[in-house]
Amino acid sequence: MTAAALLTVEHLTMRFGGLVAIDDLSFAAADREITAIIGPNGAGKTTVFNCLTGFYKPTVGQLTLIRPGSEPALLERMEGFRIARAGVGRTFQNIRLFPAMSVLENLIVAQHNELMRASAFSIAGLLGLERYRAAEARALDRARFWLDRLGLTGVADRDAGGLPYGDQRRLEIARAMCNGPVLLCLDEPAAGLNRAESVALNELLREIRDTQNVGILLIEHDMNVVMGISDRIVVLDYGRKIAEGPPEAVRNDPTVIQAYLGEEEDADLRPEVAGELGRERRP
Amino acid sequence: MAYFLQQLINGVTLGSIYGLIAIGYTMVYGIIGMINFAHGEIYMIGAFLAVLCFSMLGMAGVTWVPLALVLVLLVAMVFTSAYGWAVERVAYRPLRGSQRLAALISAIGMSLVLQNYVLLTQGAGLKTLQPIVSGGFVVYDAPDFVVTLSYIQIIILVLTVVLMAAFASVIARTALGRAQRACEQDRGMALLLGIDVDRTISLTFVMGAGLAAVAGVMVALYYGVIDFFMGFIAGLKAFTAAVLGGIGSLPGAMLGGMLLGMVEAFWSGYFSVEYKDVAAFGILVLVLIFRPTGLLGQPEIEKV
Amino acid sequence: MVDNAASGADLSRVWKVLREAGLTALIAGFLAVPLIGLRTIGGRDGMAVESRWDMLMIAVAVVFTGRLVLIALRRVLPRLGAGVGKIGSFGTLFARHRSGLAGLALALALALPLMPFSDRYLVDIATLVLIYVMLGWGLNIVVGLAGLLDLGYVAFYAVGAYSFALLGTVYEWSFWACLPVAGACAAAFGILLGYPVLRLRGDYLAIVTLGFGEIIRVVLTNWVEFSGGPNGIASIPRPTLLGLEFSRRAPEEQSFHHFFDIDYSGDHRITFLYYVILLLALLTNLFVLRIRKLPLGRAWEALREDEIACRALGINPVNTKLSAFALGAMFGGFAGSFFASRSGFISPESFTFIESALILSIVVLGGMGSQIGVVLAAAAIILVPEFLREFSEYRMLAFGAAMVLIMIWRPRGLLAHRAPTVSLGQSGARP
């Protein structure tokens, strides 16, 4: 690993009643790298995200966010919204925008905490003080940057809920970025996208990694995306880590192929196809 | 001790009545996710029908109590169920799929309509019913206090238990019950699988209203006094009971009703009658703070 | 031939309509048998029953024609709608001319007491409407913006009213000194209630707030030493204009008519009260309009849209909800102390659930989150029963039926248009 670790996950275990969704999982994600978590459906990928972003309290384990220049944040002890404030942004498998608010408003809400501070809990804002106006101008600039980057400027004032599916997915990423994260967690960003859109997504994610000073943690089924852009891949099966490494290593790992295909003989399929097959077969 | 026992008996009786009404709330909430605000009024209509029927039977000379009781229960259930059905048909069905507040406002409107309808047609004054079932057992004869269990209390308890059992088996065993549970889980999917969702919802209202009618008849017999405004506070309590027990859960509604009835009985017995409503809501808030989905409600796992 | 076929189709359509109306009437008749057709009356030996078949027939006839009218309306309305300008586009129409309309409404409101046709009664009714407009705007923060279902808003109204009534009668504080205190009291109650329950799901919140409303009323009724119990509190001081009183018997230097050297008239006070509530309501409106464009207001709306997404963006859901709850309560408290001051007498009677329901209907009927919608709905809800006063018996029945019908007609409220709070076209960042 070239870059410094941004997130370390140690011995993460999550049980729901008798069901062990994640079993003693440890891995690290590096700053300015894309780390992908893959695995068949039900392997516990989204559960990892939910533990990471405070929607679940892990049964066991330490989740540490290491930010340069400040104290490490112990995520497993924090409430969800504080984790977000500490710099973990995320998107959702089934998109969660603010549908009745405009595209631009979605991006402004993402900068809530900064603006709230500037508005002195609304007092400066109510009085229309300069310090708040300046902060809002900055927020608008940031939103405008992302709208331009994603080609959504033309629909900025439309309701977010009315956008086409692909635009909604990208808007959700933009919203997470406007929140100013150091670690961006994307839950199946390519789901439901067509070929061209997923190529554009690859481009976008690479660019975010290279220019925005963030580490990206990615859950994805689309092997084109995963193999194309990941710097590192963690493979889960039944809540356990079965492989970890750079894409080339994981692609050829027999355990991984087996996990995706089960005990079947067509192991000589290309891993992309194998991945797709495995997904069909193991609902 | 004797006093305690008496309050317990009174509390369980009151709790049965709350429980019977609460089931209507909990079922409707479970299936279409709305607070049926008019349900208390449905119960009030049941009570009015009881007084009406008993009076008519009295005029017709039917004096054998078991026969009168069965006839009144039947008539009250039939008409009250019809009201329950009509309310859903007129005020809620057109709003299915709209924002939930629209249905709530419509329900509040319907509650006003029914209240004032009964006020206009039956008058504002109290209606009293001569005691039909009187007498009871002396359960415990302490020197300073006599604990009694009246026959009407026994009828209420037995009827509640029988109805609950019947109800539970309808939900668990019959095609209707299956359809109801399916609609509760996923109405869209139920529709795709050929379940007549509208009919299932209608029948849910009918069943809830039928139970409320029983509660109304029992209250008319138990207290002997009714008025057009009685549905509001009873409905409020019953809904509280449903939430207390965990909304959507039938045993929860019964448990919540019992708990509420007992809290009220003991509070009135030992502290003050005036503040019994405060105690009831206080319990609700306490339970919800520690168990946000009620006593028997499924803890919600957040789907993200 | 063609004519015949057409008339045949017409006939069968007429038959279908008649059958539908007949069926409805039949069901209504069945339902009405026990409650309209029969009536219990107190006899010498308990209850007796009298029959009123004539009333039953009338009721059935009314339902039959009502159903026919509804069917006809349903046929005609869409056809009319296209031409006359759909009511549905009302919202967008309003949105386009919003500032103009708001200005017009404001001018009208300011000039109302000075109009030649206005009299004491009109100004008094307008004052009442404005109280509900203010309450509607206050509750709009909670329900319309933050999406929290509050069925006990009247509790905060009551807290405001009693705060002022007690401070005013016991400690002889003036209205203007009490106003902020009453608002703060109501807000404090809002926080006290909200803190434990705002984590709850929407409908649980509804029942807890409803219960809270009842608790406040029960306590006010029963704690006689504190609140006067059912008898309420009388001789609550009236608002003054910079210390000038609007009463005939006030000391000379402190009375409005002496100061301006005019004859005493009871109308002065009515007019003054009208302007006070107009001012309070406009302040509420100004506050809501501004806060909507601030991060806090946007966070409320975002929370209404998706709480989970809000948490993922670092918004503290509990505090944000609590702020909406407390601010909504505060405006309820302001309105409450005005109410106490205007009527000079309050009792728990004025703070029943029906008030909460009324205010909530104003918000929902108006179109959630719409400020002008609240004005329209408040005017309708207060004025319609006022006009129906002659049919006072049927007033509440008609009111309830109207609530149902309006919701069915326009489930999203009268004006359901939402304008974004910020747009790219807007140069710079005006809050």
Please report whether residue A256 resides in a domain.
yes
- Segment A78-96 shows an average pLDDT of 92
Q: Which chains form contacts with chain C, at 3 or more CB pairs under 8 Å?
A: A, B
For residue B86, the model assigns a pLDDT of 95
In the predicted model, what is the mean pLDDT of residues C416-423?
80
Termini Cα distance of chain C? 70
Q: What is the pLDDT of residues B88-142, one digit of tens each?
A: 999 999 998 888 888 888 998 999 999 999 999 888 888 888 888 878 888 778 7
CA distance C323 to chain A (A): 10
Residue A92 resides in a domain: no
- CATH of residue A197's domain is 3.40.50.300
- Are C157 and C355 in contact by the 8 Å Cβ rule? The answer is yes
Question: Band of the pLDDT at C430, cuts 50, 70, 90?
Answer: very low
CB spacing of B302 vs A46 below 8 angstroms: no
- Encode pLDDT of C301-332 as tens digits: 999 999 999 999 999 999 999 999 999 999 99
Domain boundaries, chain C: 12-77, 91-409
Same-domain check for residues A173 and A190:
no
State the smallest CA–CA distance between residue B281 and chain C in angstroms: 6
**In a shared domain, residues A34 and A12:** yes
Q: What is the pLDDT of residues C20-70, one digit of tens each?
A: 889 999 999 999 888 888 888 875 556 788 888 898 999 999 999 998 888
Q: How many CB pairs under 8 A join A and B?
A: 7
Residue C4 pLDDT: 63
Q: What is the pLDDT of residue C253?
A: 65
How is chain B split into domains, by residue range? Answer: 2-290
Q: Which residues of C touch A50 (CB under 8 A)?
A: none
What's the rounded Cα separation, in Å, for the pair C178 and C183? 8
Rounded to 5 degrees, what are φ and ψ at B251? -60, -35
> ipTM score here?
0.87
Q: Is A222 found in the same domain as A127? A: no
pLDDT at C40: 83
Reported pTM: 0.85
What pLDDT, on the 0 to 100 scale, is given for residue A36?
92
Q: What is the mean pLDDT of residues A181-197?
A: 90
Q: Which two tokens stand for residue B69?
A: 């009781």
Give the model confidence (pLDDT) of C55-114 as tens digits: 899 999 999 999 888 888 877 766 654 544 445 555 566 666 777 777 888 888 888 888
**In the predicted model, is pLDDT for residue A176 greater than 90?**
yes
Q: Is the pLDDT of residue C154 over 50?
A: yes
Fold of C91-409: ABC transporter involved in vitamin B12 uptake, BtuC (1.10.3470)
What is B2-290's CATH number? Answer: 1.10.3470
pLDDT at res. B117: 93
Which residues of chain B have a pLDDT value below 50?
A: none
Is C313 within 8 Å of A112 when comparing Cβ atoms?
A: yes
3-state DSSP of chain B: CHHHHHHHHHHHHHHHHHHHHHHHHHHHHHHHCCCCCCHHHHHHHHHHHHHHHHHHHHHHCCCCHHHHHHHHHHHHHHHHHHHHHHHHHHHHHHHCCCCHHHHHHHHHHHHHHHHHHHHHHHCCCCEECCCCCCCEEEEEECCCCEEEEEHHHHHHHHHHHHHHHHHHHHHHHCHHHHHHHHHHHCHHHHHHCCCCHHHHHHHHHHHHHHHHHHHHHHHHHHHCEECCCHHHHHHHHHHHHHHHHCCCCHHHHHHHHHHHHHHHHHHHHHHCCCCHHHHHHHHHHHHHHHCCCCCCCCCCCCCC
What pLDDT is stored for residue C103 in this prediction?
83
Task: Write out chain A residues lying below 8 Å of C309, CB-based.
Answer: 92, 96-98
Task: Write b or e for each residue in C239-266: b if 16 or more Cβ atoms lie within 10 A of its Cβ, otherwise e.
Answer: bbeeebbbbeebeeeebbbebeeeebee
- The candidate with the shortest Cα–Cα distance to C63, out of C22, C15, C18, C19, is C22
Q: Are residues A130 and A56 in the same domain?
A: no
> Is residue A198 domain-shared with residue A279, that is, in the same domain?
yes
Give the pLDDT of residue A278.
44
Q: What angle do CA C160, C163, C167 make, to 5 degrees?
A: 145
pLDDT of residue A252 exceeding 50, the answer is yes
- The pLDDT score that the predictor gives to residue B255 is 94
Q: How many domains does chain A have?
A: 2
Is B301 part of the contact surface with chain A (CB cutoff 8 Å)?
Answer: yes
The answer to whether the CB atoms of B55 and C199 lie below 8 A apart is no
Tell me how close the Cα of C191 comes to any Cα of chain A, in angstroms.
Answer: 17
pLDDT for A83: 92
Residue A281: pLDDT over 90: no
3-class DSSP state for residue C400?
Answer: helix
- Average pLDDT of chain C, as a whole number: 84
pLDDT digits (tens, 9 = 90+) for A36-81: 999 888 888 899 999 999 888 899 999 999 987 888 889 888 888 9
Rounded to a whole number of angstroms, the distance from the CA of B304 to the nearest CA of chain A is 7
Range of the domain at A168: 97-180
Q: Are both A187 and A257 inside the same structural domain?
A: yes
> A162 and A35 in one domain?
no
Which amino acid is residue A171, in one-letter code? L
Take residue C424 and report the two structure tokens written for it: 């790219």
Angle between helices B65-87 and C2-32 (to 10 degrees): 140
Q: For position C425, what pLDDT does the model report?
A: 66
Whether A130 is in a domain gets the answer yes
- On whether both A62 and A101 belong to a single domain, the answer is no
> What integer pLDDT is reported at residue A232 of this predicted model?
92
- Closest Cβ–Cβ partner in C47, C199, C407 for B105: C407
The per-residue pLDDT for C428 is 41
pLDDT of C6: 63
How confident is the model over C164-219, as pLDDT tens digits? 999 988 888 888 888 999 999 999 999 998 888 887 776 778 888 888 898 899 99
Interface of B with C in 217-246 (CB under 8 A): 232, 236, 239-240, 243
Domain boundary among A133, A164, A180: A180
Q: Is residue A38 part of a domain?
A: yes
Q: Point out the domain boundary residue: A180, A196, A220.
A: A180
